[in-house]
Amino acid sequence: MKFIDDLYEMYSEYLTGKEDDAMIIIESILEDVSSNDLKKFISNLSAKEQYEMVALYLYEKFRLKMEEKKRNDLPIDPFFH
């Protein structure tokens, strides 16, 4: 995707290699994007890119739900303070 390629090129010298880098950059960009601009951006994506975007979103939400459930199901260690 050209947008991602351009974004990476713009910020590559600031990346530390940590996963948080991507979230910080994406969140800072999305702060200034209106709902209409976001809808326009999505509508300009190819069908394959839209599918990949939704699939990745659903995958991440499902993965987080599984982690949350696993954390909530952990037995409480009576010796842990």
Which pTM value belongs to this model? 0.71
Domain boundaries, the chain: 1-32
pLDDT of residue 75: 72
Q: How many whole angstroms separate alpha carbon 45 and alpha carbon 54?
A: 12
pLDDT of residue 77: 67
Q: How many whole angstroms separate alpha carbon 30 and alpha carbon 5?
A: 17
Structure-block tokens of residue 51: 């599918």
Cβ atoms within 10 Å of 25's Cβ, excluding its own: 16
Q: Provide block-wise average pLDDT over 10 residues at a time, the chain (81 residues).
A: 92 91 93 95 96 96 93 74 54
